[in-house]
Amino acid sequence: MSDHQPYQDLIRHTRSWIFDLPDSKILLPLLRLRLTAEEAAFLSSFPHRPSTLEQLSQRLDLPSTELLERMEPLIRKGFIYRVEGRSAVRYSFTDPIFFLYRMPGWKGEQDEWIRTYASLANRYYVDHMAADFMGHPTKGLRAIPLAHTIPDTRQVVPYEDVLRFVEQEDYHTVSTCACRHRHKMDPNASPCSHETLNCLHFGNLGRYIVKHGMGKEIRKEETLDILARAAEAGLVHGISNTTEGMDTICNCCSCCCLFLETVKMPPPVPRGHQPSNYIRQIRTQTCIACGLCVKRCPMKAIELRDRETESTPAPDPKSPRDAKEVFFLPDRCIGCGVCVHKCPTQSIWLARRQAEQSYPKTLSETGARMLMERGRDLSKAF
């Protein structure tokens, strides 16, 4: 067997699940940086769906003691996810977004390995993987409006309220933003000035991250402080795209985030988080066309254009309100509230969309939707 074969087997196995691994001369070097050939061969038969140790032992024809020994380094690397359920401990092979783009940056390490890895990972994502990851309706994260950007909160349900979600969680963690760190470590990437220690996780995922040294436990008050700073900085809150069991809040910038960064895809680029159930509204009478919302919008959904008018005399070019007007592109709006948060005249707010978004209820439903959108046979996905 050639040294390439275990990696090719792993690639084929990964493609049976949710996200594609498109062919590229970068892919094999990228996987070699994360896995040995022996580890790749072991994972190429490991199930994606959660399985108990007994089920794995039968499937892989290995004794439990050997299984545990072989799984442990792969759990630490983020290839196998271990979760303690109510009735048993279960293990599953994670997806390439998790093991290539999330886990490697959470520790915030700064060494030669991560610099080499970051450069390859960035090129592979922008040139190849992003087209599959972002080119389908169901996203892994959805925008959740910044606090206090919805004036009428009577229709807000718990999964749409970031502060209510944080209040009900009892285990909070923070990690380095993997996307921002990957760009920071890449000598070919543009620098990003935003805070990096602001990737938030909760519940079982948070415990997994802390146990394996990928983040640290924090108090609820620290979580709220991180969210407040992110809002001030113009970052988008991206929460797990479910209505139950959410375990992640990312604070995303348009230069680094997997969902928001510019990638090589034909227009219109379907980038962005799953939109929230809210959309921007404006009171034109009080808008002074200062352009701050244009600068803050991560989706380029707002533009500042020369005002078209037949009035006499001509508009005063020294007055932004007379010379310019704000133009809105609603199809691009993800309802994050970033534009609302700092409006100096409080002329912008979020209102409920007429057409409700259909969000998955659970992580399993999210996965099923993603598989169906990619034309995968759910009965053969394992």
Has residue 318 got a pLDDT over 50? no
Residue 199's pLDDT is 98
- The answer to whether residue 171 sits within a structural domain is yes
The end-to-end CA distance of the chain, in Å, is 24
Residue 207's pLDDT is 95
Mean pLDDT of 318-328: 72
Has residue 241 got a pLDDT over 60? yes
Is residue 64 domain-shared with residue 149, that is, in the same domain?
Answer: yes
Is residue 322 domain-shared with residue 173, that is, in the same domain?
Answer: no
Q: Which residue has the higher pLDDT, 121 or 313?
A: 121
Residue 272's pLDDT is 87
C-alpha to C-alpha distances, 343 to 134, 143, 194, 283, nearest whole angstrom: 30, 19, 20, 11
Is residue 331 domain-shared with residue 261, that is, in the same domain?
Answer: no
Mean pLDDT of 210-239: 96
Distance (Å, rounded) from C-alpha 92 to C-alpha 72? 13
Is residue 173 domain-shared with residue 217, that is, in the same domain?
Answer: yes
Residue 15: burial class (beta carbons within 10 Å; 0-12, 13-18, 19+): middle
Strand partners of residue 328: 302
Could you tell me how many helices (H) and strands (E) the chain has, helices first?
17, 13
Q: β-strand 172-175 against 89-93: which pairing, if any?
A: unpaired
- pLDDT tens track for 186-200: 999 988 999 999 999
Has residue 269 got a pLDDT over 60? no
Residue 315's pLDDT is 47
Is residue 228 domain-shared with residue 327, that is, in the same domain?
Answer: no
- The answer to whether residue 380 sits within a structural domain is no
- The answer to whether residue 379 sits within a structural domain is no
- The answer to whether residue 378 sits within a structural domain is no
* CATH value at residue 287: 3.30.70.20
Has residue 70 got a pLDDT over 80? yes
Is residue 210 domain-shared with residue 129, that is, in the same domain?
Answer: yes
Is residue 192 domain-shared with residue 320, that is, in the same domain?
Answer: no
pLDDT over 70, % of the chain: 93
Helix boundaries (H) for 96-195? 96, 103-106, 112-124, 130-134, 162-168, 178-185
**Mean pLDDT, rounded, of the chain:** 91
Is residue 96 domain-shared with residue 191, that is, in the same domain?
Answer: yes
Has residue 379 got a pLDDT over 50? yes
How many other β-carbons are positioned within 10 Å of the β-carbon of residue 192? 18
> Over the range 271-294, which residues count as b (16 or more CB within 10 Å of their CB) and which as e?
bbbbbbbbbbebeeeebbbbebbb
- pLDDT tens track for 325-353: 899 999 999 999 999 999 999 999 999 99
- pLDDT tens track for 123-155: 999 999 998 898 889 999 999 999 999 998 888
- The answer to whether residue 213 sits within a structural domain is yes
Look at the chain and report how many structural domains it folds into. 2
- The answer to whether residue 251 sits within a structural domain is yes
How many other β-carbons are positioned within 10 Å of the β-carbon of residue 11? 19
> Are 240 and 138 a contacting pair, CB within 8 Å?
no
- The answer to whether residue 382 sits within a structural domain is no
Residue 270's pLDDT is 61
Is residue 21 domain-shared with residue 163, that is, in the same domain?
Answer: yes
Q: What SS3 class is residue 221?
A: helix
Is residue 332 domain-shared with residue 242, that is, in the same domain?
Answer: no
Is residue 22 domain-shared with residue 166, that is, in the same domain?
Answer: yes
Is residue 224 domain-shared with residue 245, that is, in the same domain?
Answer: yes
pTM over 0.75: yes
- The answer to whether residue 76 sits within a structural domain is yes
C-alpha to C-alpha distances, 200 to 145, 164, 238, 261, nearest whole angstrom: 16, 15, 10, 20
Residue 380's pLDDT is 59
Domain that holds residue 203: 5-274+358-373
pLDDT band at 313 (very low <50, low <70, confident <90, very high): very low
Edge-to-edge order in the sheet of strand 172-175: 141-143, 236-240, 248-252, 199-202, 172-175, 216-218
Mean pLDDT of 355-368: 92
